[in-house]
Structure 1
Amino acid sequence: MTEILVLVEHVDGEVKKVTLELLTLARSLGEPSAVWAGPGYTPEAKARLAEYGAEKIYVAGAAEIADYVVAPKAELLAQLVAAASPAAVLIASTAEGKEIAGRLAIKTDSGVITDAVGVGDGVTADQSIFGGGVNVKSRVTRGTPIVAVRPNSTPPQPSAGAGAEEQVTVTLSDAARGAKVVDRVKQEKGARPELTEAAIVVSGGRGVGSAENFALIEKLADSLGAAVGASRAATDAQWYPHQFQVGQTGKTVSPQLYIAVGISGAIQHRAGMQTAKTIMAINKDPEAPIFELADFGVVGDLFQVVPQLTEEIEKRK
């Protein structure tokens, strides 16, 4: 089978969920090979990657890979593309991942596709473009296909791989050392999952009415083990921090379940969440555009519906 390179996303040695999704997707295209860049590789990480289908694991554990911004990972991948001639390279479509994909495309003279929500036969990518108004299928026609895939686009499914380990070294160019990391500040991690990786997202919009009322959204999210999001109207009103904005000018999410509470469903917001597998909307306006997109809709006052929904969920735990 043809080799598919998957760049591993990891934090403090822990493999992130999006990598397991990419390995699952890679199995449908060929033979997955995980690429570990930077320090932190452990036997536990190896076992995790093999559990989800990695037949080979390229380990570049040099500390200097993490000492510089983005470029070393692109150079590592370019080296592996030249040596292994893979059928494709899969990368998480995060802010960093998309930059790595772009740099890699230049280095390998290849085409690149970002924000894919699926990849099929012939490395044909599914994309939602123009603010979510058009769904297209795209293929790279030059070089090695490089595809950045949105988190939560593919449910991770374990399937044991050989996990054969191969140590690799990369010689960084002067250009790769152009931006050095001089300090790191560890962000305190809350109990909720990260927004772009969460399987369930509960978002509040203008209808929530105030910052204080976002406690209703948070309580519902916590009952489901979900992340909290917000529309642009809510973040612009300073009811919720901007880093939680979902939409064309915010973050793009593709959860298994998206609950829109008090959100009208303007195209700007829809562009950031319409690839969710299941969408539920709660809005008092039966003509709200969000209902055109929703799989399930509740027409009602969110201040009555949300507490009842939260209470019922808690009962069923």
Structure 2
Amino acid sequence: MNEPVKKPARKKVELDPRFVNYKHVWVFIEAERGVVHPVSWELLGEGRKLADALGVELAGVVMGPPGERTRQICGEAFHYGADLCYLAQDEVLRDYRNEPYTRALTELVDTYQPEIMLLGASTLGRDLAGSVATTLATGLVADCTELVIEADSRNLASTRPTFGGSLLCTIMTQRHRPQMATVRPRVMAMPDADTARSGRIVEHKLAIIESSIITKVLEFIPDAQQDKPQLAFADIIVSGGRGFKKQENFQLVWDLAKVLGAEVGASRPIVQAGWVELDRQVGQSGKTVRPKLYIAAGISGAIQHRVGMDGSDVIIAINNDPNAPIFDFAHYGIVGNAMQILPALTEAFRAQIALARRAG
């Protein structure tokens, strides 16, 4: 009779003594002209889990011009889970510029020493995170899809797609602090706001002189893309892929989206073929979305596309290949020709909407 093989006891990992003073989880609250990017609240929800796992406090970091609105943002951060807020108010922070924001955030980190710092992978967040990580000589994991704490080492295990989205890898910054990561909007769930929550504010006075900043803001021009597709914030998205064969067939996706009041998305091959603009690409190299309903028609569901939409509340997949990967994670699947099924769905929804209007 064979005796069971005894597994060696797992060696406990001792925390590097250099890092004993690095504590707490920080989330950079991205705000421009008083408007907070929703990814900041999403990250507070995720940061709350990390802070609880570590048994430390969760802090928001708010930077901006002096004024009541900048301070109000700290209160909003408390509603979304922060225990405290580091507040840096200065005229040099009125508009985002890489140099003053990098210097300010670096100064805050050097002074208060967080062990983890999270930023949104927005245009601003990507720019700032790279600069701060370089200045601090620490590691940065970009575009993460999952963040967890390794219990033994207290390391942040950051998972992100790699090799063009074909694989997922988990990366840890073991020899440097803080551990930094960016997460794209809508990857993490939006936490519920608790308006009864409050916290404490730690004000930090900066010593940055405007004359020492090379770049100047001459004019503020509103985002020219504000009237463009906003897939990241759509409640319903109908996406199409190579299963439609020809560009004219893709009109079926637009027809269904119009009836549902939905946004139109697409897989990477469709964008590369020039059928739709880049703003409509869903996936690792496109947009990350988290709608209430995601209809994927003629899309195989390769990991490159999956990482951009598998956080959707409900996923309906339509594909004529019963072995398509998308059926492995879709909530509902229809095996069939998307070019036949979409017109039927469009008419069915149109009829139901007309019926509901008459009844109302």
Work out which of the residue numbers 76, 89, 93 in structure 1 matches 2:121.
Answer: 93
Work out which of the residue numbers 171, 180, 185 in structure 2 matches 1:146.
Answer: 180
CA contact (8 A) 1:219 1:310 kept: no
CA contact (8 A) 1:75 1:170 kept: no
After superposition, residues 127-206 of structure 1 pair within 5 angstroms as 127-141=160-174, 142-155=176-189, 156-159=191-194, 161-172=197-208, 177-186=213-222, 187=224, 189=226, 194-198=230-234, 200-206=236-242
Matching residue's letter, 1:127: R
Which whole-Å CA distance do the structure 2 matches of 1:143 and 1:136 have between them?
A: 20
Residue segments in structure 2 that go unaligned for 5+ positions in a row: 1-21, 52-56
Structure 1 residues 303, 42: CA separation in 2 closer, same or farther (over 3 Å shift)?
A: same
CA contact (8 A) 1:24 1:158 kept: no
- The RMSD of aligned alpha carbons is 3.6
Are 1:38 and 2:64 an aligned pair? yes
Which whole-Å CA distance do the structure 2 matches of 1:84 and 1:137 have between them?
A: 27
Structure 1 residues 90, 252: CA separation in 2 closer, same or farther (over 3 Å shift)?
A: same
- TM-score, normalised relative to structure 2: 0.72
Which whole-Å CA distance do the structure 1 matches of 2:171 and 2:265 have between them?
A: 29
Residue identity over aligned pairs, in percent, reads 33
CA contact (8 A) 1:3 1:32 kept: yes
- TM-score, normalised relative to structure 1: 0.80
After superposition, residues 82-121 of structure 1 pair within 5 angstroms as 82-121=110-149
Which whole-Å CA distance do the structure 2 matches of 1:110 and 1:175 have between them?
A: 29
CA contact (8 A) 2:187 2:289 kept: no
CA contact (8 A) 2:267 2:282 kept: yes
CA contact (8 A) 1:110 1:145 kept: yes
Matching residue's letter, 1:203: S
Structure 1 residues 237, 137: CA separation in 2 closer, same or farther (over 3 Å shift)?
A: closer
Structure 1 residues 54, 310: CA separation in 2 closer, same or farther (over 3 Å shift)?
A: farther
After superposition, residues 1-317 of structure 1 pair within 5 angstroms as 2-30=23-51, 31-39=57-65, 41=69, 45-121=73-149, 122=154, 123-141=156-174, 142-155=176-189, 156-159=191-194, 161-172=197-208, 177-186=213-222, 187=224, 189=226, 194-198=230-234, 200-206=236-242, 207=244, 209-210=247-248, 212-219=251-258, 222=261, 227-253=263-289, 257-265=293-301, 268-270=304-306, 272-274=308-310, 276=312, 278-286=314-322, 288-300=324-336, 301=340, 302-309=342-349, 312=352
CA contact (8 A) 1:214 1:239 kept: no
Q: Which residue of structure 1 lines up, in the alignment, with residue 12 of structure 2?
A: none
CA contact (8 A) 1:117 1:275 kept: no
Aligned length: 313
Which secondary structure does the structure 2 equivalent of 1:243 belong to? helix
Which whole-Å CA distance do the structure 1 matches of 2:93 and 2:180 have between them?
A: 21
Which secondary structure does the structure 2 equivalent of 1:131 belong to? helix
Answer with 144-153 or 118-127: which moved more: 118-127
Answer with 15-24 or 61-70: which moved more: 61-70
Answer with 169-178 or 294-303: which moved more: 169-178
Matching residue's letter, 2:62: W
Which whole-Å CA distance do the structure 1 matches of 2:124 and 2:45 have between them?
A: 21
CA contact (8 A) 1:254 1:275 kept: yes
Answer with 171-180 or 238-247: which moved more: 171-180
Structure 1 residues 201, 213: CA separation in 2 closer, same or farther (over 3 Å shift)?
A: closer
Which secondary structure does the structure 1 equivalent of 2:206 belong to? coil
Which whole-Å CA distance do the structure 2 matches of 1:310 and 1:78 have between them?
A: 55
CA contact (8 A) 2:32 2:95 kept: no
Structure 1 residues 126, 64: CA separation in 2 closer, same or farther (over 3 Å shift)?
A: same
CA contact (8 A) 1:52 1:158 kept: yes
Cα displacement (A) at 1:110: 1.2
Answer with 78-87 or 63-72: which moved more: 63-72
Matching residue's letter, 2:59: S
Residue segments in structure 1 that go unaligned for 5+ positions in a row: none
Which whole-Å CA distance do the structure 2 matches of 1:133 and 1:119 have between them?
A: 19
- Structure number with bigger Rg: 2
Which secondary structure does the structure 1 equivalent of 2:201 belong to? strand
